[in-house]
Structures are given as C-alpha cells and as structure tokens.
Amino acid sequence: MPSSSVCENATTLQKPRQLIAATLNDLRQQNTTGSNPLYPALQHFARQLKSLPAEHQALVSQLLMAEICQTPDLPTRFVLRLMSDLSDAICEGRELPYLTQPQGF
C-alpha cells in the first residue's frame, strides 16, 4: 500500500502515473520478432524519467513499488521491477549495466 505522502496530491502524481502507464502500454503494443522490446522501451522510460523534476522521480520509484505489490500478473511485475530498478538508479545517479547499448555476438 502506498504511503500517505504518495497519496497526498493527485495532481503531483499525474505525470509519474502517466509515465508508468505509457511505458507499459508501449511494451504491450510492440510487435517485434527476434529483438528485445524491453530495451528501447526502458531506454525511453529512462529518458522521460530523467526529464522529470527530482521530486517526481522519487514519486515514480514509490509508485512502482506499490504497483509491483498490487499487480498479480507476473510478466507485468517483472517489467515493473525493471522499471523500479532503473528509477532507483536514476535517482541515485547510477547507470544499470544491463541497459547499456546491446553488443553483437
């Protein structure tokens, strides 16, 4: 359950919620074969997240944890967890090694 600080202001939560929903929607709509649809979607999520103010970035992290706890669908929870890891890394100024440009074999 989200903390009371997360639930205080619906207007403040609007952009972070839209970012999470848009990323999940993009992943659901991609029809790619032979490639990893997570990479471009997570890269896009990272760019969008970095453009938000720090307070919204922190809200995204909190909302993602709440979504993970409330989502029964395992594949969606997996993607939410990746988004959460990425969000935490951005808030802490870190890069995630599994989101660097993929290299050929």
Instruction: Give the pLDDT confidence of 83-98 residue by residue, as tens digits.
Output: 999 999 999 999 887 7
Q: Which residue would you say has higher pLDDT here, 39 or 65?
A: 65
Q: What is the pTM of this model?
A: 0.67
Q: Give the burial class of 52: count Cβ atoms within 10 A of its Cβ; 0-12 exposed, 13-18 middle, 19 or more buried.
A: middle
Average the pLDDT over 17-23 and give the result. 87
Q: To 10 degrees, the CA torsion angle through 24, 26, 28, 30?
A: -150
What element of type H or E holds 92? helix 74-92
